[in-house]
């Protein structure tokens, strides 16, 4: 009896399997996305995904909100190791080397089919592609990308006798303006700082603005060699430290990222460096007229890029990879890129997105949005290496040690370089 029963069950299972495989014309995709800024980011991604699925009934996309960038890479790598990776995901552009090392992703050149696709690949801003390619291949497609800019309080500028329409153009002016903008009460306690460059959590990112302006890069394209002990890097760190210790125009110690926009609104600081991702936040909450400008220059103007890219995962069928590519092509097309950029403040990653009527209208009413795009011309790749998180932690620790006066900039960076060399030598 039991044999009969078993045979029956097997037959049933086989029938069910056959049914599933014939009806499984629709390609199923799982898509992990992070949300790093408040506002309408999550809603917008879901709306875009739904619109795509409506237009393409042969594809179903399961869009999974996976938390912060850190949560998303953690969840994705756990899924990869468990053998059930998503088919596509938005992850920090700098995690590219980690994903390659885990053998988790495919290059877009291996998925695209024709010249049209190649033209699509070539249409993104080169500054964003720096973090998306290595060894001549493209592994990421820019999506929620940003860059740091300078915000300034026009009222505070006027009060200090400065031209409210002119931000500091270079490092010296930043100090000079900062001194005029720093206000002290009768006891000598500061009530308004000149400038605020936040340094908690990931100080390397804004620090990379300073190093770029001093015309030095922090890591090579192959991701296996860092430059932390270069004299120009040390000079940049010395400048950052001097802002609080020597010039006394910035709050000493580690400065919190999250509280930075609030400190700006409260008049605690007259200028701040922070991401363009805060643009909508500042526009809605600043109780005064504010300006947005490029970061001040030293040898040259400069800033890093940041944010997340689309990746396609290896452990998927050919049909799934094709469908993923098609979805990414659609969501990064001008219309959708413009919609995404307007809703969040992220920089639309393709020049043609800025030519759409919606984007033109938006920029017309809010010209500050253009600054980030114009700065892209001078932007460089965000620090990315193999074992990226470990290397950036080493640099972060060194920066924090110097900012808090535990070590002088040269000692801190020399030690960081030695530690980074020990880890990266295995990849050369």
On the CB side of 311, how many CA atoms lie within 13 Å of its CA?
33
**Cα torsion angle, 414, 208, 90, 99, sign:** negative
Residue 132 CA to residue 121 CA, distance in Å, equals: 11
* Per-residue contact flags (x/-) with another protein for residues 209 to 248, judged by CB under 8 A: ----------------------------------------
* 93 touches another protein by CB under 8 A: no
* 110 touches another protein by CB under 8 A: no
Which region, judged by CB under 8 A, interacts with another protein, from 140-148, 183-191, 224-232, 234-242?
Answer: 183-191
Q: Which 8-state DSSP code applies to residue 263?
A: H
* 421 touches another protein by CB under 8 A: no
* 206 touches another protein by CB under 8 A: no
Q: Find the Cα–Cα–Cα–Cα dihedral 383, 387, 391, 394, rounded to 10°.
A: 150
* 255 touches another protein by CB under 8 A: yes
Residue 402 CA to residue 207 CA, distance in Å, equals: 12
By CB under 8 A, the residues from 256 to 285 that bind another protein are 256, 258-259, 262-263, 266, 268
Of 51, 67, 70, 330, which lies in the binding site for another protein, with binding defined by CB under 8 A? 70
Cα 243 to chain center, whole Å? 26
Min separation Cβ 122 and another protein, Å: 29
Nearer to another protein by Cβ, of 170 and 268: the residue is: 268
Of 10, 406, 418, 425, which lies in the binding site for another protein, with binding defined by CB under 8 A? 406
Which region, judged by CB under 8 A, interacts with another protein, from 114-122, 171-179, 290-298, 400-408?
Answer: 400-408
Retrieve residue 149's tokens. 């800019």
Give the residue from 385, 380, 304, 392 showing the smallest Cα distance to 130.
Answer: 380
On the CB side of 54, how many CA atoms lie within 13 Å of its CA?
6
Nearer to another protein by Cβ, of 213 and 392: the residue is: 392
* 390 touches another protein by CB under 8 A: yes
Give the residue from 346, 253, 274 showing the smallest Cα distance to 35.
Answer: 346
Residue 180 CA to residue 345 CA, distance in Å, equals: 31
- By the criterion CB under 8 A, which residues form the site for another protein? 70, 74, 77, 98, 101-104, 187-190, 199-201, 251-256, 258-259, 262-263, 266, 268, 387, 389-390, 393, 396-398, 400-401, 403-404, 406
């Amino acid at each position: 009896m039991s044999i009969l029963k078993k045979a029956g069950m097997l037959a049933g299972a086989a029938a069910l399997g056959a049914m599933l495989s014939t009806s499984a014309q629709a390609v199923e995709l799982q898509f992990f996305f992070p949300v790093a800024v408040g506002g309408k980011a999550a809603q917008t991604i879901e709306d875009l995904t739904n619109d795509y699925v409506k237009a393409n009934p042969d594809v179903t996309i399961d869009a999974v909100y996976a938390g912060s960038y850190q949560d998303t890479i953690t969840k994705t790598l756990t899924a990869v190791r468990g053998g059930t990776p998503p088919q596509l995901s938005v992850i920090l552009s700098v995690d590219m080397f980690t994903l390659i090392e885990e053998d988790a992703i495919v290059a877009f050149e291996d998925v695209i089919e024709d010249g049209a696709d190649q033209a699509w690949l070539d249409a993104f801003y080169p500054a964003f592609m720096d973090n998306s390619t290595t060894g001549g291949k493209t592994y990421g497609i820019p999506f929620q990308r940003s860059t740091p800019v300078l915000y300034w309080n026009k009222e505070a500028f006027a009060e200090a006798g400065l031209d409210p329409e002119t931000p500091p153009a270079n490092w010296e002016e930043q100090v000079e303006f900062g001194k005029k903008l720093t206000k002290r009460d009768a006891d000598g306690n500061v009530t308004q700082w000149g400038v605020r460059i936040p340094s908690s959590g990931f100080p390397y990112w804004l620090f990379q603005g300073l190093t770029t302006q001093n015309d030095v890069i922090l890591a090579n394209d192959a991701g296996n060699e860092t430059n932390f002990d270069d004299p120009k890097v040390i000079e940049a760190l010395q400048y950052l430290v001097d802002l609080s210790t020597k010039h006394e125009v910035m709050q000493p110690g580690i400065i919190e990222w999250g509280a930075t926009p609030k400190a700006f609104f409260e008049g605690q600081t007259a200028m701040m460096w922070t991401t363009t991702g805060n643009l909508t936040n500042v526009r809605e909450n600043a109780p005064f007229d504010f300006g947005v400008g490029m970061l001040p220059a030293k040898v040259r103007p400069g800033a890093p890029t940041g944010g997340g890219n689309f990746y396609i995962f290896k452990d998927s069928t050919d049909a799934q990879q094709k469908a993923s590519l098609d979805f990414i092509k659609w969501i990064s097309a001008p219309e959708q890129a413009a919609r995404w950029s307007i809703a969040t403040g992220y920089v639309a990653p393709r020049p043609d997105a800025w030519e759409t009527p919606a984007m033109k209208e938006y920029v017309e009413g809010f010209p500050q949005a253009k600054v980030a795009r114009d700065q892209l011309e001078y932007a460089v790749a965000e620090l990315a290496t193999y074992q990226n998180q470990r290397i950036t932690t080493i640099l972060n620790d060194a920066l924090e040690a110097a900012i808090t006066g535990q070590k002088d900039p040269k000692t801190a960076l020399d030690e960081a370089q030695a530690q980074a060399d020990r880890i990266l030598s295995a990849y050369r």
